[in-house]
Structure formats: C-alpha cells, structure tokens
Amino acid sequence: MYKSLEPYAKLVYFLSAALGDNCEIALHDLTSKDQEIVAISNNPISGREVGAKLSNLSLHYLEEKQYLNHDYVMNYKTVGNDGKLMRAATYFIKEEGREMPVGMLCINVNISDLEYLTSTIKKILGIKEEKDIEFKMDNPVEILSSPLDEMIDMYIKECLEKMGFPSYFLAERLNVDEKIKVVKYLQEKGYEDHIIELEDSSATVQLAAEALGVEPGMIAKTLSFLVSDTPILILAEGTARVDNHKYKDTFRTKAKMIPFDDVEDFIGHAPGGVCPFGIKEGIPVYLDESLKKFDTVYPAAGNDHSAVRLTIAELEAVADAEKWVDVCKE
C-alpha cells in the first residue's frame, strides 16, 4: 500500500463502524499497477475483497480526469454482486506534485430495502414503476459485480464464442492495462472480435504458430527499428528475414533494431507482444511485401499470449500503415 494511504486505511474501518452494516467502505491504491482495493469493510454488500480491481465507472471517472475539477463524486448508483442497489460516493485522494490521485475512498450505501419499501408504497398508491436501471453516461450505474478485468474477459470470451473458437482460447492472459489499450484501439477500428487469447505462449513465431495451429509464415511478426533515433515498426511474415541492402535502400540507413530492454519504453508493448495496435503516438508502421503471400495473418495483440486474426486488407486498415515496403529476403 502507498504510504500516504495508510491513514485512510484506518479511516475505512472507522467509517464502517460509525455508519453501520449497510455501508461498505473501500480504499483503492491508484499508484499500484492494478489500482486494486487495499482496504475494505462491510464487503458482503458488494462481495468484493482486498485485491479487487477498479469498477467500470471508477475507470470512467479517471479516464475523464474528473479529479481535476472535483474533489469527489456523489450520489451515483451502484449494483452489487447479487443485485443489491446502492448509492455511492467517491473521494479522490490527491497528493501535491501529482496530477492523478494516489487513491480513491469509496462509500457504498445499500438502499435495496429502501427501494423495496418505495416500490411497495408505489404499488399501494397505484404509481407506475420505472424501468430497470440501464447504464447510460448521463445517468451512469457502477457495476461492482464485474470488475474491469472480468468485464473485458467476459466481453472477449463472448466474441470468441460467436466466432466459433474452442474453449482453450483464454482471455485471462492480458493484464488490465494491456486489455484496455489493445481492445480499445481495435474497438475503435471495428476489429475487437478478432482478438484471440491463448493458453500457450505466443512469444515467438514458432510458439504462436503452434498455439494457433497455423503455419509459421502466417504469424505477422512486428519488428522494431530505430531510424535516426526514431522508432518504427515493420510487419513481416513469420519466417521472413530482413535484407540489410533492401532495408538501407528503403530507409537510407543501416538496420538498427531497438535493444530488447528498451522496446517497451519506445513502443508501449513488451517484447513477445509487440504489435501495431495501441502503440505510442507518432510511431510509423510499415507492412512488408512478404505478408501478401497469405490471405490471413496473425499479429500479436499486446502480450505474449494473444493474437489478432486479420485479412491482409484488414491489417492494412487497422495498422494505419504508412506504406508497403520490400525489405525482406526472397
């Protein structure tokens, strides 16, 4: 737990004791990789435990940077794991010198009994019931029963089932940040249902081909180079090798690959999962002619247990490629 949050952890238990059993208090550490809950009291209300990830709405508040203009968010609706309806409030814990909050203190008050009583009174008085709660951005509902990583897993699995993939294609291998980055990018392009999650490693061309059950050449490997200290990506068929003369003729410089330990800093993806999707801004992407011998290829999808099934035309569109190049050996 981030040290500045330790006093708030004690406050979690004080507030739950003071406010009663119908009130859940949770503390998120936003400085950690998974931004998980580090302290929680009265958790039977939502069914969450220490280690649970951010909810859909909490992530939305952070993405929209509502903490810049507000110290807290009040009176939004939350749905627990068994359908419990709650009123919620979140306080952004800020630290001088940091733009993003270091934590979030969340209060969820179970109002299911109150809603039941209200519904009963309406029936007695003949007042028409409102429709079930729907998630809309102008009237958002937080879903605590499906933390972000579980929600995306379910979404990917549903897409895979519709595509007819077998059960051993898994969604659990991507971490939260990787899922958000790759899925969001592919969703914007309209290709989110092409993602394949693998139980076995796809860190190398051979491993990826074995995991997918395709020939190695169909793996669209992504090669990362530096041209005048600027990173570029070249996608080529899996068995192709760069021809130094062709490369120099194309880019007017010798081929210089990005060192293994620097790839993630330059590109945004770690080695084994480098792909042209969700990369850092301003990185040009090139497609090598060697890919054209296949109708369908499989580039990685952000980590070493994933791939994206794309036709050549789809790859060209979704990768926002600068152009086709011919830099590989015959």
pLDDT in tens, 111-164: 776 665 666 666 665 655 554 433 333 444 444 544 444 544 555 555 545 444
Domains of the chain: 3-145 (3.30.450.20), 147-330 (3.90.960.10)
Name which residue leads in pLDDT, 73 or 117. 73
What is the distance between the alpha carbons of residues 280 and 181, in angstroms, rounded to a whole number?
10
For residue 91, is pLDDT > 90?
Answer: yes
For residue 255, is pLDDT > 80?
Answer: yes
294 contacts: CB under 8 Å, gap ≥ 6: 217, 218, 237, 312
Six-digit token string for 201: 């490693």
Closest CA to 108 of 16, 217, 233, 215: 16
Vertex 190 angle, CA 187 and 195, to 5°:
65
| pLDDT the model gives residue 167 | 43
Strand partners, 33: none
For residue 190, is pLDDT > 50?
Answer: yes
- The reported pTM is 0.45
pLDDT band at 297 (very low <50, low <70, confident <90, very high): very high
What is the distance between the alpha carbons of residues 307 and 298, in angstroms, rounded to a whole number?
6
Six-digit token string for 228: 């005048």
| pLDDT the model gives residue 132 | 41
C-alpha Rg value of the chain to the nearest Å: 24
The amino acid sitting at 210 is E
Average pLDDT over residues 96-116: 84
For residue 41, is pLDDT > 80?
Answer: yes
Average pLDDT over residues 193-211: 73
Q: Which of 150-154, 215-219, 254-258 has the lowest mean pLDDT?
A: 150-154
CA of residue 60 relative to chain centroid, distance: 12
pLDDT in tens, 226-237: 999 999 999 999
Q: Would you state the torsion angle of the CA atoms of residues 6, 12, 17, 23, taken in this order, to the nearest 10 degrees?
A: 180
The amino acid sitting at 187 is Q
